[in-house]
Amino acid sequence: MNSALTFSFFNRLLTGFLSSRSDFAQPVEDSSDTTRAMLRVAAGDDGALQLLFDRWKLPLLSFFYRALGSHADAEDLTLEVFVRLHRSAADYRPTARFSTFLFHIAHNLLRNEYRRRRRKPAQPVAPESFDYVPAEPGSGQALAELEEVFQRALLRLPGKYRAPLLLLQQQQLDYPEAAAVLRISENSLRVLIHRGRRLLKTEMETIT
Amino acid sequence: MNAHRSPSEEEIDRLLASRLRDTTPEFEARWRDLRRELRQTPAARRARPSWWPGLAAAGVAFAAVLVVYHPWSTPATRPEPRFSEDFAELFAMDDILGRATPLLDPENRDALLHLPANPSPSSPLP
């Protein structure tokens, strides 16, 4: 919980610090540890890859789990992101924030997975696995039910709404960054977010 | 959750922002195996295909040929010279004389050609 909060704090801090950047294509001064670690991975530093894994495994797992509803698939895709990261490390240039680069890979994998899977049964995790539900069993029954309804409703949404909602709200990307990851305009992103939230709410009401 | 209660915007925000607390031991074990494999295959810069230098050299040579020969610029056609009919007699004479045997041998002809056209009056007469 503490580590998640600490990560969220620093992620927001970093996002705020870099929010003045408007041109995605221009090189940016990204002073984050992740960018330096990526350059070290390219140089063959094995410890740097572990650093990146420790820093980004939970954001990626959470992103894939919410988008797919399957913990096993979320784990597979998270590991695949790190394989691709390792493979592309030598060609990596910090022309954008590292999180943009990382979630661009993740989103491509997610789209491939959407195309690949016809219908797979959801493999839900215990509600206590999420950071907002109290860890003590039985202490957050209402929240556990809410979690189940939410995840089911999220999976009923068309895929085009899920990734934008998660990138903005779960991963705390700003609009320009999320739009760059999704390769859409900011206006299109705003429309998707607005419709996605409305649909999500409707689905949650329907399920309950 | 109350079965008849609509979720609030704050609840939706909180749910969307939520993340998993931790990974499973199985996942960490898979990562360790994967990391071991990746260690054996160091990140390499994407290799260009082997024909890349040849293709680049051919491109440069082709560009050089284009620059030198300008095949796109057609040379201006030179109009056929047209002469006045007054020269017809002169051309006919030139054709006849062109075939004539020189009256002088080459050494004397060159000497005659280099004689001044207007000899100075101070030159002694033979």
B3 touches chain A (CB under 8 A): yes
In this predicted model, what pLDDT tens digit does every residue of A150-184 receive, in sequence order?
999 999 999 899 999 999 999 999 999 999 999 99
Q: Is B36 on the interface with A (CB under 8 A)?
A: no
- Chain A nearest-CA distance from B52, in A, is 18
pLDDT at residue A80, rounded to an integer: 96
Q: Which residues contact A19 (CB under 8 A, 6 or more apart)?
A: A174
User: Comparing C-alpha atoms, which of A38, A45, A41, A75 is closest to residue A57?
Assistant: A75
B6 touches chain A (CB under 8 A): yes
| CB-CB under 8 Å, A79 with B30 | yes
Q: DSSP state, B86?
A: G
CA distances from B7 to A80, A144, A164, A171, B60 (A): 35, 14, 20, 21, 66
pLDDT in tens, A64-121: 999 999 999 999 999 999 999 999 888 888 878 888 999 999 999 999 998 887 656 6
Taking contacts as CB-CB distances below 8 angstroms, the residues of chain A near B44 are 90
pTM of the model: 0.64
Compute how many other C-beta atoms are within 10 angstroms of the C-beta atom of residue A35: 18
Instruction: List the structure tokens of A83.
Output: 């394989």
The pLDDT of residue A148 is 86
Cβ–Cβ contact B34 with A under 8 A: yes
Nearest CA in chain B to A89: B43
- Interface-testing mutation among A45, A79, A151, with chain B (most B C-beta atoms within 10 A): A79
User: Residues of A with CB below 8 A from B16's CB?
Assistant: 66, 165-166, 169-170
- Do B35 and A50 touch, CB atoms closer than 8 A? yes
Mean pLDDT, 10 residues at a time, chain B of 126 residues: 69 92 94 91 60 81 82 65 75 77 71 72 56
Measured in angstroms, the CA of A119 and the nearest CA of chain B are apart by 23
- Which residues of B are less than 8 Å from A4 in CB distance? 19, 21
Q: Do B24 and A75 touch (CB under 8 A)?
A: yes
Residues A141-150, mean pLDDT to the nearest whole number: 83
In this predicted structure, the answer to whether residue A27 has a pLDDT above a threshold of 50 is no
For residue A42, the model assigns a pLDDT of 85
